[in-house]
Amino acid sequence: MLKQCAPMVFGALLCACARDYRNEVAFHTLFSEDGQPDTAAIAGALSAKFPVGSQFGPLQSYVDLNGGSCRERPDGHTWCEITLRTKFCAASMLGIDVVVTQGSIGTLAVKWGGLSC
């Protein structure tokens, strides 16, 4: 009986010890030690995921998925915003400035700022 239970006990212990570090790795890659966005790292990651010449649609979907929004500006750029963190009467925002030409990404820049009452 003990031999029959050993694999189940071992499996339960292995599952109990499993841990997923992806969120911590992503956070420490994209944010400084004090929790502020590293705009150069974020711009690099977004440029790798959405390279120059690729369609704007997937970037728009990414912004939507993260609770953000995009709008075209009169200067030919598209400005996207994603709220990173909110507190009473304040928000930390990530801005993505994209030049879109015929539906394709031309350039991409990241800015960080906030809003308050």
| pLDDT digits 0-9 by tens, 43-84 | 999 999 999 999 999 999 999 999 999 999 998 899 999 999
**Cα first-last separation, the chain:** 67
Q: What is the 3-state secondary structure (H, E, C) of the chain?
A: CHHHHHHHHHHHHHHHHCCCCHHHHHHHHHECCCCCECHHHHHHHHHHHCCCCCECHHHHHHHHHCCCEEEECCCCEEEEEEEEEEECCEEEEEEEEEEEECCEEEEEEEEEEEEEC
CA angle (90, 43, 26) in 5-degree steps = 75
The reported pTM is 0.79
Q: What is residue 5's predicted lDDT score, i.e. its pLDDT?
A: 56
Q: pLDDT class for 88, splitting at 50, 70, 90?
A: confident
Q: What is residue 114's predicted lDDT score, i.e. its pLDDT?
A: 85
pLDDT digits (tens, 9 = 90+) for 16-41: 678 999 999 999 999 999 999 999 99
What are residue 69's DSSP bridge partners? 81
Residue position matching structure tokens 């994603």:
82
Residue 9: pLDDT above 70?
A: no
Q: Which amino acid is at 7?
A: P
Q: pLDDT class for 102, splitting at 50, 70, 90?
A: very high
